[in-house]
């Protein structure tokens, strides 16, 4: 299994222990390992999801300008995944 680095806590884990976050064409965040294009990997815990949205970590990883409601979008992705 490939190893990935979490953008929240910077630990390296296997891809099946993490979630890949992608930015859609209409600037929405989704959790999808199969989506094409740039993505960011986050551990499956709330602390890493919160850390990813702080200090521009997610925007930097995706190399994109994110909407101001990025924290709200990440929270809804986290809730949808049901961790």
Number of domains in the chain: 1
- For residue 17, give the 3-state DSSP assignment: helix
Q: Are the CB atoms for 6 and 18 separated by under 8 Å?
A: yes
Instruction: Report pLDDT for 56.
Output: 86
Helices (H), the chain: 46-53, 57-62, 70-81
Dump pLDDT digits (tens) for 57-68: 999 999 988 888
Average pLDDT, stretch 14-26? 92
Q: Are the CB atoms for 25 and 68 separated by under 8 Å?
A: no
Domain that holds residue 66: 3-81
Instruction: Report pLDDT for 16.
Output: 93
Cross-strand bridge partners of residue 42: 19
Dump pLDDT digits (tens) for 30-53: 998 888 889 999 999 989 998 988
pTM of the prediction? 0.86
CATH code at position 8: 3.30.1230.10
């Amino acid at each position: 299994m490939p190893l990935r680095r979490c953008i929240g806590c910077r630990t390296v884990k296997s891809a099946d222990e993490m979630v890949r976050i992608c930015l859609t064409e209409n600037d929405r965040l989704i959790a999808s390992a199969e989506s094409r294009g740039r993505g960011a990997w986050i551990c499956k815990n709330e602390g890493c999801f919160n850390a990813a949205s702080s200090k521009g970590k997610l925007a930097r990883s995706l190399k994109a300008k994110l909407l101001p409601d990025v924290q709200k979008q990440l929270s809804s992705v986290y809730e949808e995944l049901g961790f």
